[in-house]
Copies of this chain bind each other. A is one copy, B any other.
Amino acid sequence: MSIHQRRERERAERHRLIIRTARELAEAEGWDAVTTRRLAERIEYSQPVLYSHFAGKNEIVAAVALEGFAELAADLRAVADKADGPAAAFAAAAREYLAFGLANPALYDAMFTLATDLPFGWPDAPEPLKEAFGALAGTFAQVAGEGDPEAFTEVGWASLHGLVTLARGGRLRPELEQERVELLVRRLLG
């Protein structure tokens, strides 16, 4: 029995290795550089091994994206918990979201550009997705004011997401970075 357990343990380890390697490679050279051949070479196995863990390359990207959502959720909860009051928590979460997106470009791409087919359709979404959205919603709902708090959360999220993607594409003036997020927070707080 314990042999099977050891094998499953090794298998799970390799599973994580694939995800970690894909993420490192993507962050270092961009997702275009993450080919199944290069990935296989890095983990020191042949290509087909990847397909015994994942149905395809998309699924590997999706796995990386899930990691990203989990980390984002943790980051957001951390800064919101440390903040002093709902408004400060909201502002801190907004700043953290932006920083996260800009600091992990490849990871952010996996989450929002590449893994578009991640089942975001509530309520059967993967746990990390709900967790990340919940982290945002928990902070945002407290400052939503009148109106649907979910609509407010979605608007706030979308605004931050837009800031991340446009900034990453070089389409916003870098020197206004700080000013933009402060302005957004101020206006959304009403």
Contact = CB atoms under 8 A, between A and B. Distances in A.
A166 B154 CA distance: 9
A137 to B, nearest CB: 12
A173 to B, nearest CB: 7
A37 interface: no
A72 to B, nearest CB: 14
Contacts of A155: 159, 163, 180, 183-184, 187
B152 A161 contact: no
Q: How many copies does the complex hold?
A: 2
Size category of the A interface is 35 or more
Contacts of A152: 183
Given A176-B150, A187-B187, A158 B163 contact: yes
Contacts of A148: 176, 179
Given A158-B165, A159-B162, 11 more contacts: A120-B171, A148-B176, A154-B166, A155-B180, A155-B184, A157-B162, A158-B159, A158-B166, A161-B165, A187-B187, A187-B188
